[in-house]
Structure 1
Amino acid sequence: MTTRRTILKSGAVTAFVAAGGTALAPVPAAASGPGPDRDALQEAVARLGANGASGILAEVRDRDWIWRGSAGVAELGGTRPVQPQGRFRVGSVTKSFVATVALQLVAERRLRLDDPVERYLPGVVPGGGRITVRHLLQHTSGLFDYTDALLAEATVEDLVRMRYRSWAPRELLAYSWGEAPLFEPGAGWSYSNTNYILVGLLIERVTGRPYGSEVTRRIIRPLGLHQTEVPGHDPDIAGPHAHGYLPLERDGGVVPVDITRYEPSIAWAAGEMLSSAADLNRFYGALVRGRLLPAPLLAQMQATTGPESYGLGLLSLTLPSGATLWGHTGGIFGYETFAMGTADGRRQLTFSVNPWGPSEPDDSLLQLLTLAFDGTAAGVARGTAVQRLPKLGHF
């Protein structure tokens, strides 16, 4: 999408402590096998969380070892720590699952990447004869992002009021059809959740089953992702989880509003899924190692375009060391996720943050990435550009 926000907003912790909360405290890390400096990883996680969040959890997974850590509290005002094995809303990380299913259907010759959308969804998409399946998957369709129209003027109070509303995919698409396309198909790049609502519909049209059923049947069950689900209209997060919050301005200050329970159909195939750090690391490791797609299609998935190096449901990020990472980021009310790993599938990092409040970016994310993938934070320059996550409310 054209407007992005940084992973965290510093200053939120100050507002929280002033409101009577408890500052972030590190949780003892769990680890097995050899690996990087665990104390340094824990310090980096705590620092990232302390820069504007109520809690954070993380897992670094290597073929030979696993490290898990967390900081903060599961619920503001309480003392229960964030559990590193907890579940969370993953936002746009959902797109990697959806894109993988679509590409599996391409492998089965039930979809073709360069076919027009009109062939599969006749009459659904304005200009659908010129927009291909590939355009949708790589955000080059030019279609206006429905969330930019639906949530452009939304306040925190509005989001709280609509938290239990159920949405149908075509209701969401109507917000996009009311806006002019941003460019001709293939002539530019712009992140648009509209694209993945349509990919979800494509999967349902081709298979005759709900897209979530296909994600479950093709990915979740075969990989044993026991903490991952497509929740549909269920607003709850079962099992251990940290609460999510939105910042509400009140009496000249900022207070947190608990938004943990939320009907996720507003995000549908663009960002509704739930998972854990362990499951996401397992998924992305399996994906880049070729367990889910034939090599030619994985190569197409990793052929990037646009300012954010976006492939077909995958983001690419290059660290200052030159290491290239593959995965996705995600943001949905109260939760922000970063899930990426090395191109050979040997090592992955996933973390989930519960942010709220205004802030400025710093180098905490890059410190964590450098420790996780290079084994040291030495030489990381302050202010170095790092991956951005979607702005509040945009998956």
Structure 2
Amino acid sequence: MRTVLALAAILLSLLATAPALAEDETGLTDRLRDTLEAVRERYDLPGATAAIVLPDGTLATAATGLADVEAGRAMTPGTPMLAASIGKTFLAATVLSLESDGLISQDDLLADHLGDRPWFADLPNARSITIGHLLHHRSGLPDHPHLAEFQDAAAARIASGQRVFTPEELLGFVIGREALFDAGTGWAYSDTGYILLGLVIEAVTGQRYYDVVAERFLSPLALDDTLPSDRPDLPGLAVGYTIPDNPFGLPVRTAHADGRLVWDPGVEWTGGGFASTSADLARWGHALFGGEAMAVPYLDRLLDGGPVAPDAPGILYGAGVAIYAETPLGPVYGHGGWIPGYVSSLRHYADPGVTVAFQINSDAGVVDDSSNHVGELEAALARLAMAVQQ
């Protein structure tokens, strides 16, 4: 997985160097499709989708390539893909919403909510972690997806067809380990911390996490093409393609002939946890970062970020959001997503009020760090969106 810092470096450099877009009279949708197609052809990608939401709410969408190469199924703007860690924006928004309702506070100790669980005492930094630490990746917890023990165990389960890991089983990969740093004193991306937040949400609401998100965001915002990625048979999902020597031992085509995934994406749970379309992701980002996702004020809490590295003071992480405070286009908010076979990106350009999202049904070049096509596409779509505003 590319880090927040690495993605920022790619984006900033390419915004400055990407060639100017040719002017045409075909409109935003055609230009969006042309941009997608150019990148797809250059990097031999199976397919991709993208969407742009303009300040007035106008939505443009486009698709290119194939959702299923072997079957010849065309990619369409309505084809869903796994959104991976962009799902963290839904979880963070849920925490802020519950905080507005007085059900939780970022200052709460994690122990106040999960301290009675039998495994809790052996969690790194167990007694000092707060909800805010988890939300901002400042807990000091390791990141279980990048532990060799997890990757080996996941590969074994995929190969044997065993059931998906439970949240508690995921936590088991970090139980008893040393903390990376004292809670609140550093920054390290941790899906494990977001698994804990999922358990907290269910504890304080008494509801299934996905039901809470649907009730508070998906239904009110009519995000009808966003659904839990909690099973292998997700309707209409584009087939994802990966590299031969991937960490989880998956086949290059990560789905059966009928489109059902050969693995269970439910393992991600609240570390991501949704399938969506680029259009829904762009609409969600436009509402979230535009301050319209909730009835009460929340942007100050959402964008209250800290630096991810001492040598990059302009790159911050807020409540489930990467913040690029100083770019040639002004402040940029968003999140990226990687999961085997899929890459997604969500960016909101605050000064013009434009939101851009795209998805690709291949992680080749990303999982092996062999290509900059994600950063190139982010830059090209940003330049296109800005050109429309001029």
Match of 1:243 among 239, 242, 253: 239
The separation in 2 between residues aligned to 1:319 and 1:120, in whole angstroms, is 37
> Is the CA contact 1:60–1:350 (under 8 Å) kept in the aligned structure 2?
yes
The one-letter amino acid of 2:110's match is: V
Identity, % of aligned positions: 28
Aligned to 1:381: none
Aligned to 1:372: 384
Match of 1:348 among 352, 355, 374: 355
Please say if 1:330 is aligned against 2:337.
Answer: yes
Say if 1:76 and 1:160 are closer, same or farther in 2 by CA, change over 3 A.
farther
Aligned to 2:277: 276
Match of 1:89 among 72, 82, 86: 82
User: Secondary structure at 2:282's aligned position in 1?
Assistant: helix
Q: How does 1:211-250 map to 2 (within 5 A)?
A: 211-232=209-230, 234-239=231-236, 241-248=237-244
> Is the CA contact 1:103–1:293 (under 8 Å) kept in the aligned structure 2?
no
Say if 1:367 and 1:286 are closer, same or farther in 2 by CA, change over 3 A.
closer
Match of 1:200 among 178, 198, 201: 198
Please state how far the C-alpha of 1:80 moved relative to its aligned partner.
2.7
Aligned to 1:185: 183
> Is the CA contact 1:49–1:353 (under 8 Å) kept in the aligned structure 2?
no
Please state how far the C-alpha of 1:148 moved relative to its aligned partner.
1.8
Q: Residue deviations 1:194-236, cap 9 Å, x none?
A: 111011011001001111110011111111111111243x211
Say if 1:83 and 1:202 are closer, same or farther in 2 by CA, change over 3 A.
same
Q: Residue deviations 1:84-135, cap 9 Å, x none?
A: 1211111011111011111111111110111110011114443332100000
The separation in 1 between residues aligned to 2:176 and 2:337, in whole angstroms, is 25
Please state how far the C-alpha of 1:48 moved relative to its aligned partner.
2.8
Please say if 1:311 is aligned against 2:302.
Answer: no
The separation in 2 between residues aligned to 1:55 and 1:244, in whole angstroms, is 9
Please state how far the C-alpha of 1:141 moved relative to its aligned partner.
0.3
Say which structure is richer in strand. 1
Say if 1:321 and 1:2 are closer, same or farther in 2 by CA, change over 3 A.
closer
Aligned to 1:121: 114
User: Secondary structure at 1:120's aligned position in 2?
Assistant: helix
The one-letter amino acid of 1:192's match is: S
> Is the CA contact 1:113–1:132 (under 8 Å) kept in the aligned structure 2?
yes
User: Secondary structure at 1:45's aligned position in 2?
Assistant: helix
Please state how far the C-alpha of 1:278 moved relative to its aligned partner.
1.6
Say if 1:198 and 1:345 are closer, same or farther in 2 by CA, change over 3 A.
farther
Gaps of 5+ in 2: 8-24, 310-314
The separation in 2 between residues aligned to 1:138 and 1:148, in whole angstroms, is 19
The one-letter amino acid of 1:86's match is: T
Q: Residue deviations 1:146-165, cap 9 Å, x none?
A: 11226665499657426663
Aligned to 1:25: none
Q: Residue deviations 1:12-56, cap 9 Å, x none?
A: xxxxxxxxxxxxxxxxxxxxxx99655543332123333252111
The separation in 2 between residues aligned to 1:178 and 1:319, in whole angstroms, is 39
The separation in 2 between residues aligned to 1:49 and 1:344, in whole angstroms, is 29
Please say if 1:79 is aligned against 2:72.
Answer: yes
Aligned to 1:102: 95
User: Secondary structure at 1:327's aligned position in 2?
Assistant: strand
Please say if 1:55 is aligned against 2:47.
Answer: yes
Please state how far the C-alpha of 1:78 moved relative to its aligned partner.
3.8
User: Secondary structure at 2:40's aligned position in 1?
Assistant: helix
Gaps of 5+ in 1: 8-33, 377-395
The separation in 2 between residues aligned to 1:230 and 1:156, in whole angstroms, is 20
Bigger mean CA offset, 350-359 vs 331-340: 350-359
Please state how far the C-alpha of 1:59 moved relative to its aligned partner.
0.9
The one-letter amino acid of 1:167's match is: F
Say if 1:284 and 1:219 are closer, same or farther in 2 by CA, change over 3 A.
same
Say if 1:191 and 1:214 are closer, same or farther in 2 by CA, change over 3 A.
same
Aligned to 2:12: none
Q: How does 1:255-294 map to 2 (within 5 A)?
A: 256-259=252-255, 261=261, 262-293=263-294
Please state how far the C-alpha of 1:343 moved relative to its aligned partner.
2.5
Q: TM-score, normalised by structure 2?
A: 0.79
> Is the CA contact 1:2–1:191 (under 8 Å) kept in the aligned structure 2?
no
The one-letter amino acid of 2:293's match is: L
The separation in 2 between residues aligned to 1:167 and 1:185, in whole angstroms, is 26
The separation in 2 between residues aligned to 1:364 and 1:2, in whole angstroms, is 14
Q: Residue deviations 1:180-201, cap 9 Å, x none?
A: 1110001100000011101101
Say which structure is richer in helix. 2
